Structure 1
Amino acid sequence: MTEDQKAEVEKFRKDVVEPSMTQLVILDFWAEWCGPCKQLTPILEKVAADYADKGVVLKKVNVEEDKFIAAQFQIQSIPTVYAMYQGKPVADLGPARTETALKQALDQILTQIPIEGEAQQKQAEIEPLIEMGENVLAEGDAERALNIFGQIMEMAPTETKAISGFVRALVAMGKTEDAREMLAQIPEEVATDPEIQRAQSALDLAGDAAAKEDTGPLQAKVDADPGDHEARLALAGALIANGDRDAAADHLFHIIEADRDWNEGAARQKLLQLFEVTGLEDPWVAQQRRRLSAILFG
């Protein structure tokens, strides 16, 4: 190995290998004369900047200046882009020539390697707080839950789980207008997030009945006419507002069994909203989903 080659190796060790011991390195092989390289560079730079807090860094190797390193990687054409971790290539990023494709590739890689960037560290800090907020909200202390989720949002303003919890706490406190205003300000890119949809469902359900509504008159109407689906649907909404999800689900299943398409499937829609509000991973929801499947497909 010549002195120049030794210098190349030492430079590569400092610039690429050492950072890759704790970070995910996007390694771009390029040259000044390469047109496609120049087209790809802005994409690589933007994605690397967007993913910097996730422990991703961009490093470049000019194949004209570092020929020995390029030869070691057996570079046949450029641009060639690898993801490197702990000194070794872990993925060929060459096919990812768009921002979306590159981000998808990085997301997949980051789930498989123990990178601890700022984003991961922050997530590790807030996850226990989110769990605490959910538990407090489930126990009925909406005001305390609101404070917890508010604190999380100060730490991570775009954390959808915290936004969802905050909105659902507002709904539980009867502050539906405040909840509606907050949801209206949600950025479009996260509006379809399942957690935001969960909050929207909570708000929709809250609009059906006032908290702690007296269900006596509605129950009397249903008892007098079991086929009165309108009254039974209203009763289910009131029971949801009162926190009695089991009784509410029973009434909704009753309507679905009798006429699954009644009022354009209103009972099924309300049941699905209840699932979203409760949490799709909740064991109770899993049990009720099996019950729904048995009715629809049994």
Structure 2
Amino acid sequence: MSNFPFVVDISDAGHFEQQVIEASKQQPILVDFWAEWCQPCKALIPLLTKLAEDYKGAFILAKVNADEQQELVAAAGVRNLPTVKLYKNGVMVDEFMGAKAESEIRKMLDTHVENETSNKIAEALALSEAGEHQQATEQLKALNQQEPSNSNVHIAIAKVYLQSGDFENCEAIIKSLPANIQLSDDVKKLQDELNLARSTSDSPEVEELLAQLETDPEQHDIRLQLANQYIVSHQYELALEALMYILQQDMNFQEGAAKAAMLSIFETLGAQEALTRQYRSKLASLMY
């Protein structure tokens, strides 16, 4: 038996059916297939246990010793250790193999698990998007006092600093993160946004750029500056429109800078986002 309230050990197939499949109809169950000889498993188990405690019962961590439960492992289709599978409403909805950074596991969990901390982070970021940067920062710092090791809270504070124009504090937080967190996709994107914001900080305001384009619509360098300003303020559709105008005139403008900016937006939005699909199709039509 586990000494943690949100962690259980699965001892046989019947236990798996009851404590995972049936129990997942009430709340998500994260199943960790591990073994004593597996070094990555030993590193992952404390992290998953910590997350189970951090999420305060929003999901249950179920541990399966692969050496002791070989038939169960085979039935679950596990081929490598560690393998972690997330069950919800009686079915497996997500999984990963090998060691993962805490931020990546949290991202997976937050897709499927209702979590009070994630909701508070989302609320604070919405405040920041609305221009209430100080209030957002105060809420996130209070949350950080409750969960000082939660890297998602630190990343959210850095995002608010970026949105408020405080580039130095944003970069300081990024540099203070553990090395593996700094290499995560979320932090890489944040660093890219910071670099872009810095590069456009001396650029004219949007209204001035628009006025210049009214005089001469073919000033592609001005339109690229406009697109970058839109990206910084997360107005992605306007940015994509500006970039598409440039690409329609000159696909290789500034050695492909407009195309690179568009691809960066696709990565930020995700492949399934409607804007990504729409403009990826337009870009493909131009190219081919």
Structure 2 match to 1:82? 69
**Structure 1: gaps of 5 or more residues:** 1-13, 29-36, 60-78
Distance change in 2, residues 1:51/1:230 (3 Å) = same
Structure 2 match to 1:232? 223
Distance 1:256 1:196 in 2: 29
Structure 2 match to 1:207? 198
Query: Matches of residues 243-282 of structure 1 in structure 2 within 5 Å?
Result: 244-275=235-266
Distance 2:233 2:42 in 1: 52
Following superposition, the deviation at residue 199 of structure 1 comes to: 1.6
Distance change in 2, residues 1:201/1:285 (3 Å) = farther
Structure 1 match to 2:133? 142
AA of the residue aligned to 2:177: I
Distance 1:166 1:231 in 2: 32
Query: Matches of residues 42-61 of structure 1 in structure 2 within 5 Å?
Result: 45-53=42-50, 54=52, 55-57=61-63
- Alignment partner for residue 108 of structure 1, among 75, 85, 91? 85
Query: Matches of residues 19-168 of structure 1 in structure 2 within 5 Å?
Result: 22=19, 40=37, 45-53=42-50, 54=52, 55-57=61-63, 80-82=67-69, 89-91=72-74, 101-103=80-82, 105=83, 107-108=84-85, 124-157=115-148, 159=150, 161-168=152-159
Following superposition, the deviation at residue 179 of structure 1 comes to: 0.9
AA of the residue aligned to 2:180: E
Distance change in 2, residues 1:196/1:44 (3 Å) = closer
Distance change in 2, residues 1:48/1:240 (3 Å) = closer
Query: Matches of residues 282-293 of structure 1 in structure 2 within 5 Å?
Result: 283-293=274-284
Q: TM-score, normalised by structure 1?
A: 0.60
Question: Does the 8 A contact of 1:168 with 1:202 survive in 2?
Answer: no
Distance 1:27 1:257 in 2: 53
- Alignment partner for residue 219 of structure 1, among 206, 210, 224? 210
Following superposition, the deviation at residue 194 of structure 1 comes to: 2.7
**Structure 2: gaps of 5 or more residues:** 1-8, 21-30, 53-60, 94-105
Question: Does the 8 A contact of 2:167 with 2:194 survive in 1?
Answer: yes
Distance 1:149 1:187 in 2: 19
AA of the residue aligned to 2:210: Q
AA of the residue aligned to 1:82: Q
**Percentage of pairs with the same residue:** 17
Distance change in 2, residues 1:141/1:188 (3 Å) = same
Distance 1:274 1:247 in 2: 11
Structure 2 match to 1:31? none
Distance change in 2, residues 1:210/1:48 (3 Å) = closer
2:199 alignment partner, SS class: coil
